[in-house]
Amino acid sequence: MIAETKSDLLLGIEAAETVSRYSLDPSKKVGAVLRGHTWARGFNHIPAGIYHPSDPRIAELTRDERLDLTVHAELHLLIDAGKATQGATMFIGATEPDGTPVGIAPCRRCAVHIISAGIAHVVCRQRPAESRWRDEWAESIRMFKKAGIAFVEVGA
């Protein structure tokens, strides 16, 4: 993984950004792609068992209510991948509602799941300098370092 070129890493990130477009989240669409013994993918969503994607009540949820019910892309990927996560690489990409790619890192909750699943490398597009998630992302990256997970950010 480490020997891969920047363009290889961007290919994985762009695949995750493509998957992010499956998300119906009105604010940030996040996608994740796993490359290991097999491929897996995830995107942020409210499970259809709670609200069907066409349920108009979703639009009435507050931001906090929506976040509380949302399965993050990273966890969705881990559920999809099953036991294929050991030593694998997770690419994460996000897009704004207009489709513009944006840098991101996993939240602390997802970092805990990623560490538990035995992921070896996490690859993201470089984070923006300013974000309300900045401190949370920094904590996730500290946890990855402690757990021996390579966190790779790819700049422009």
**By CB under 5 A, residue 72 contacts Zn ion:** yes
**By CB under 5 A, residue 88 contacts Zn ion:** no
**By CB under 5 A, residue 66 contacts Zn ion:** no
**By CB under 5 A, residue 107 contacts Zn ion:** yes
* Binding piece for Zn ion, criterion CB under 5 A, among 4-12, 21-29, 46-54, 64-72: 64-72
Closest separation in Å from C-beta 72 to Zn ion: 3
Closest separation in Å from C-beta 96 to Zn ion: 17
Reported as half-sphere exposure (CB side, CA atoms, 13 A), residue 92 has a value of 30
Closest separation in Å from C-beta 92 to Zn ion: 9
**By CB under 5 A, residue 104 contacts Zn ion:** no
**By CB under 5 A, residue 125 contacts Zn ion:** no
**By CB under 5 A, residue 115 contacts Zn ion:** no
Residues that bind Zn ion (CB under 5 A): 72, 107, 110
